[in-house]
Every structure is written in C-alpha cells, then in structure tokens.
A and B are shown apart, each in its own frame.
Chain A
Amino acid sequence: MDDRLAGALGLLPGYGAQHIVLSMTALALGIAISLPLAVLASQRPRLRFAALAVASLVQTIPGLALLALFYPLLLALSALTTRLFGFGVPALGFLPSLLALTIYSMLPILRNGVTALIGVDPAYVEAADGVGMTPRQRLYRVELPLAAPVIMAGIRTAAVWTIGMATLSTAVGQTSLGNFIFSGLQTENWIYVLTGCIAVVILALLVDQVLGLIESGAVRRDGRRIAVGLAALLFGTATAGASLLRGPAADYVLGAKNFSEQYILAGLMAERIAKGGHTAARKEGLGSAVIFRALAGNEIDAYVDYSGTLWTNVMARSDVPPRAVMLEELTRFMRERYGVTVLGALGFENAYTLAMRGERAGALGPHTIADLTPLAPRLALGSDLEFLSRPEWAALRNTYGLAFGQEKSFNPTFMYRALQDGLVDVISAFSSDGRLAGNALVTLEDVKHAIPSYDAVILIAPKRANDEVLRGALAPLIGAIPVETMRQANFMLDRDTDKASLADAVQFLAGSLKSPAQ
C-alpha cells in the first residue's frame, strides 16, 4: 500500500472519533437550544423575527471566521473567570469549535421548527382546545407531532452542515477529519486531502440516513424506527467517545502552525519526548496569533516560533537590533511578561524575504530589495495569506518605497505555483523553505535591514517552566539544526513529486541533527 495512504488510514480512527464526538455534541446542543426557541418563537411574532434574523445573520458569517471569532471571545471570558473564580476556560480546541458549530447548526432547525409549528392546521389547534387540552398538552400531543417531519428535515440539514463545517475546527486546535485536509493541502499530500473529504462525506451520508430513518419513524409513527435510529446515533457517538477516553491523555501537548516546517518540528519534538518515555499529542494547523496565546495560556506546552514574528507581533517593536541582542531581549520579555520560557534557538532562521525565479531576476536585474523599488509598479507580488497584513510587509514597503502593480494572496503551496506559472513575479518567501533551492529561486537581500531576524526558537509554556523532563528532551535540539538541513527536510514534504511522508521527514531531521555545540 502507498505510504501516504497507510499513514492516512492509521490516523483515520483518531481523527474520525474526534470529528464524530464534536459534530454530534454540537448537533445535540443545537437541537436542545433551537427546539425550545422555535416553540417560543412560533408563539411570539417579535421573537420569531429576531431569532430568525440573528440565525440567518450567523449563517452568512464564513465558517472559519465564526470559529476564529470565538477564540478572542473565550479568551476574554477566560481572563474574566480567572480573575473572578481563579480558573480559566479553554479558548482553543473543543470549546470554541463546539460553540461555533452549535450556533451554526441552529438556523435550519429553528427555521424549519418555526415554519412547521406556525403551519399546523388551525382546525387541529381548535380541536385540541376543544377536547380539553391545556396549551402544554396541545404542544406535546398535537403541535409537535404534526410538525415533527418538517423539524426532522431541518435537523438532517443541520447534521450535514455541522459534519462538514467541523473540518474547519482544525484551525482552532481541535482535531477533526479536517486535519487531513489542512495538513494535506499544506504539504500537497492529495491522498490526505482526499481521505479527509471522503471520510467526511461518508460520515455525513451515514448520519443523514440514520436521521432519515428516525424521520420516517416520526412520519409513520413507527417507534421501532425511531428507537433503532437513536440507538445507532448514541452507539456511534459513545463508541467514538470511548475510543478517545481509552487512549490515555498525552503527557505533553505540542503546537504547530500550518506549514510543513512546523509539522516536522512538532514531530521532532514529539519524538524527543517519546524517547524519554513520555507521550506527546500535537495540535496542528494553528494560526500565528492563536498559537502564542495558546502557549501563554498553558493550552499547549511547547512549540517553535520565530524571533522576528514575536518581536513585531507580541512585543510590538519596529526597531531592528542585531540578532543576538534581539534574542536576549525576547527571552527576557517573554519571561517577565508572560512567564514563557525561550529555551533557545534551533540554529536556523526562517525569515521573510522576497524571492523571484532565477531567470526572471536575471532578465530584470535586481539583486537586492532596493533594486526592486523602481521595477515594482510593473510587477505582481504574490504573498501568503498573512504577509500583507503583517508589520514586516509594512516595514519593507516603507523602507524601500515598494509599490507593486498587483498584490495577491495565496495559500503558500499555491503561491509557489503562481510564481512558476508567471502569475506573479515576486513572492514573499521563507528563507528555510526547501522550495527556494528546489525551484531555482533567488532571494533578494534586505540591504537596509528593514525586517528583523527570524531565529527559530523553542517556547515553553509557563506551567512547564520548571519541567525538567520537557526541558531535558528538547534541549538537545538547541543549535542543532542548520538552515540547509531544515530546507532539505522541508523539501521532502513540499516538492511536487516523490513526496516523503511526515514521519520520513522527521526521521531525516532527527538523523541529521548537529551535535550540540560543545
């Protein structure tokens, strides 16, 4: 069997179980909130208008944005509860995913519920009153049963939406089938992407069929169908939940942003921890801003970040001191402000730089970013999704007076494609990216030192500051990874053909470590 397929299938039970537990819990919660709300709204026109308007509005927010919005919200809540009660709520992972999915699942249930309830034939309502039912008895014995088929149709829609959107929860640190899609897209591992998509589709169809069985039971008043359907849902969710509980919680949680180098480094750190006889779980695909907050909030124990990123984003500095001074100041700032330990630099930089195809650069003639300034108006800049809104870009633009004719943002993988295809002329590149060498690209030197250095550094969460096991496991990585080694490892995943698996890249890197400076 193909290595990547074997890898994907190995991860499937774990990802699938997380996905099932998350989406089914969200659906159950969505039903629990929406149904009573639909009943109230069907009796009160003003509430009906408000509830449906809000639910529709929420639906227009892109799923990823909704998930992202819950992060700062929960962070603020966590700060509040910490001050009031001495404990925080997790802002990352299951909770924000659950909340976003729950809200997302509400519209179809609410809308169908209200439509069905106000659509109940008034003759039956009068008959219910006439035989002596109280309003409550009328609701449970007549209105809800008559509305049940339409309500169930709404629940089916909600289930399919929720299962589909749960893939996005990967971005806020909740493992799901979306992990296949996110990491597969990042490393151009289409087998992963396909595995994730197919698994989601099968799960959605399966749940839809089971809900269909319950629906037909409701229409035909067949208690057996309803019981079998409910039992299948409960059993499936419980099995998934149990499989998650069976595996003991990992000793450590490692974070990774959403690109190959981060996956490899998290894998390397996990391997180091495993060597010491401990287990490590990984939260992958986290956004740049999210991941640091997660560490400072003790939701992950360690991850690799870059000094320049922290310098500008977290410390809000715009000056560009020498590399060693920067590291020293960063270390002190992190300890004093956040209690975060900067364990040390890995030895390579992953700096933002600008790159061009070698032949194009040869034809146009720029060697440095300064040379680019007069050419820029006729060129198109391609960037990753965050570069254009980052302070580094502002610094480059201001220092060199860069004004590109066009600016386009891409997923990093597609950004390189766009450069190869001539869709853009210059890209924002990372100095440790294997594709620089692989694609015969040239980088343009930042001669005016507009942007700081980007030493890869290991950060350790406040609660692990004195954890000798963790420090001991990760310490040998300090100063042990030259940029050439990192580029090679990255290229194993990022090259277009003959891709290696993540495990292979991790093995390669582990085997190529420079023995720490004596």
Chain B
Amino acid sequence: MATAPLIELDQVSKSFDGGRTFALRDVSLAVEAGAFIALVGASGSGKTTAMKLINRLLEPDQGEVRVEGVAVGTLDAPPLRRRIGYVFQGVGLFPHMTIAENIAITPQLLGWPRPEIEARVAELLDLVELPQHYAGRLPQALSGGQRQRAGVARAIAARPRVVLMDEPFGALDPITRDALATAWRAIHDRLGVTTIMVTHDVQEAVLLADRIVVMGGGRILAEDAPGPLLDGDAAPEVAALMAMPRRQAERIRALTAKAAHG
C-alpha cells in the first residue's frame, strides 16, 4: 500500500454566507511530503480559504482535511497549529514582543527548555540571515524585508514538517521579495519541509513551486508542474493567468537570441 499523502483535502466545501455562495466547492487536493505547492488565483478564488482549512483557522462545511492521515477535525486546534508553521500575510509579528520573543513563541508554547529555545533562536537568525543583535529589537525597528525574515524564522522555529505561507512576500519591493523567495526555496530544500504557499503572483509561483494549483471560483481549475502549465492548452482562465509569465519568457528568449546574433 502506498504511503498516504502528508496533507489531503477530500471534497471540501466552505461557505461564509450559509450556503448561498461557496468560497470552496468540492475541492480535493493531495500534497506529498517535501513538496512545494503554490496556490494561485485571483482574489476570491478560494486559495487562502483552502490553506486555512489545513491548520483549522477555518473549518470546512463538508468534506475532510487530513494531515499525516489523521482528520484534523478530530484534533485539538492549538497543538495541531504548533506543529504546522505559518507565515502571515503582511507582518504578523507581535509588535509588543522582541524579534527573539516572536521567534520563540511556538517552542515556548510547546514547553521547550529555555536554553534550547535560546540556542534555536540564534540558529534561526543565522538561517534567515538576520544579525544576532536584532534579537532584542522590536519589530517596528526592522525593515519590511527583515520583519518577514523574522516571520519565516518564527514559522519554522518548532521544526514543523509543514509550512503554510499566506502571500508571504506580497508587501515587499520586487528585489527584497525575490531575495526572500529564493532564500525560502533554499531553506525548504535544506530542511526538507513541505511548503504550501498562497500567492497571486504567478511569476513567483512559476519560479519557486514544484507544482502549481490554479484556483478560481472556489474550484481547482488546473494542477500541474510549472512547465506543462505554461506550455499546455489549458482552460481559458488558466491560460489568462499563465499569459504574463509566458509572454515574459518569450520576450526574454527573443532578446537573448537577438543578442547572440547581434
């Protein structure tokens, strides 16, 4: 018997208005351990809703969500969330706690001994390339990019197997954004975690993810590796979403060809 996927969404539906409209409708998705999945789609496509079902920030109206083969509905939410990393849209760092305190939250909630937490914080600051002396600073003293590095460190502090990311780098300038995204892909590979990232930036998804799940109207429109999605004859919505990176790639190919012939 094949090993079960790490995370499964099994025919889940979710409505926020008592069933008149559905944010998610009959969505099924399986994520293997170690995968890097990007959920892309326009606002209201259901991508964030789908991700929040995994750590029970939201509950499905129908269907079942399983993590490591166990239905999350049968688990207590706080312990479940402590073993799933979460990087929040925007900042999400607590403004009244120092960077070190923010990073240490989940280990602390899990009751790690203090020296172990301190060592872990120092290790994580190195991993996300923040200077050690930032540990005692408040989030407001850091730049947006630095804050999100701290946010990433907080998400992985308790060594989760799964990291959920909600538009993690959306509010950053393009250069910082690219640097952080690339750094995260490296961390993902090095730690062997499973990443599920929600983003409206198809380019980012194409560059980072192993698999892209395109969502629209509460359903999964397409699900494939980035290459086939870019090349394939997809449904019109998917094609529209993929048009921009495809055009960009074509333009760059043309420019490099011209330069080579020049």
Contacts and interface: CB of A to CB of B under 8 A. Distances in A.
B78 A132 contact: yes
Contacts, number: 56
A363 to B, nearest CB: 77
Given A126-B57, A131-B82, A132-B81, A221 B96 contact: yes
A132 B79 contact: yes
Contacts of A221: 96, 138
A130 B94 contact: no
A92 B160 CA distance: 63
B154 interface: yes
Interface size class of A (residues with CB under 8 A): 10 to 19
Contact of B90 (A123, A129, A133, A137): A123
Interface in A120-154: 123-124, 126-134, 137, 141-142, 145-146
A459 B88 CA distance: 76
Contact of A127 (B55, B79, B92, B110): B92
A124 B94 contact: yes
Contacts of A126: 57, 88, 92
Nearest to A129: B57
B96 A123 contact: no
A54 to B, nearest CB: 31
A133 B88 contact: no
B86 A131 contact: yes
Contacts of A124: 92, 94-95
Q: Is the interface of A mostly helix, strand, loop or mixed?
A: helix
Contact of B94 (A132, A137, A142): A142
A130 B95 contact: no
A180 to B, nearest CB: 44
Contacts of B92: 123-124, 126-127, 130
Interface size class of B (residues with CB under 8 A): 20 to 34
A369 to B, nearest CB: 74
B96 A145 contact: yes
Given A137-B109, A145-B96, A131 B81 contact: yes
B109 A131 contact: yes
B199 interface: no
- The residue among B77, B89, B90, B94 with the most chain A CB atoms within 10 A of its own CB is B94
Nearest to B82: A132
A123 B94 CA distance: 10
A130 B57 contact: yes
- The residue among B77, B78, B82, B91 with the most chain A CB atoms within 10 A of its own CB is B78
Contact of B86 (A130, A134, A137, A145): A130
Contacts of A141: 94, 105
A146 B86 contact: no
B95 A131 contact: no
A126 B80 CA distance: 15
B194 interface: no
A145 B97 CA distance: 10
B248 to A, nearest CB: 32
Nearest to B76: A134
Contacts of A130: 55, 57, 81, 86, 88, 92
B13 interface: no
B78 A133 contact: yes
B57 A131 contact: no
B106 interface: yes
Q: Across chains A and B, which 5 residue pairs bring their CB atoms closest together, nearest first?
A: A132-B82, A132-B81, A130-B86, A127-B92, A145-B96
Given A127-B93, A131-B81, 14 more contacts: A123-B92, A124-B95, A129-B81, A130-B81, A131-B109, A132-B80, A132-B82, A132-B106, A132-B110, A133-B78, A134-B78, A142-B96, A221-B96, A221-B138
30 contacts: A123-B89, A124-B94, A126-B57, A127-B92, A129-B77, A130-B55, A130-B57, A130-B86, A130-B88, A130-B92, A131-B82, A131-B86, A131-B105, A132-B78, A132-B79, A132-B80, A132-B81, A132-B82, A132-B106, A132-B109, A133-B78, A133-B109, A134-B78, A137-B78, A141-B105, A142-B94, A142-B96, A145-B96, A146-B94, A221-B96
